[in-house]
Amino acid sequence: MTKMGLKHLFIINPLGKLNLKIDTSMNLAFALNAMGMKPFMALQTDLYARASEVRVKASPLHFGQDVTQLAAGEQEDLGLSEFASVQMRQ
């Protein structure tokens, strides 16, 4: 599998509470996006289990020219196994 199109999940605080200029999670997501990968975001409360699978309601992140030009897309219901990495912010 190539790196292009790989999904990466960031479990973070709501976007409105982040300082996008200095937030390391969003700067990493911006860099992944620039390399053709697909960053997603979710809140901790968006995680759930169905049968024996852990799933998440995650939103794709869309960036403009820099990290401060950020919009979250519509939530998608995805299994955690669909992500190449999962980063959780504390």
The pLDDT tens digits of the residues spanning 21-70 come to: 898 999 999 999 999 999 999 999 999 999 999 999 999 999 999 999 99
Q: What is the pTM of this model?
A: 0.91
What pLDDT is attached to residue 89?
79
DSSP structure class, residue 70: E
The pLDDT tens digits of the residues spanning 43-56 come to: 999 999 999 999 99
Evaluate whether 10 touches 40 at the Cβ level (below 8 Å): yes
Q: State in words which class domain 7-88 has.
A: alpha beta
Q: What is the DSSP string of 6-69?
A: -EEEEE-S-GGGS-TTT-HHHHHHHHHHHTT-EEEEE-GGGEEEETTEEEEEEEEEEE-SSTTS
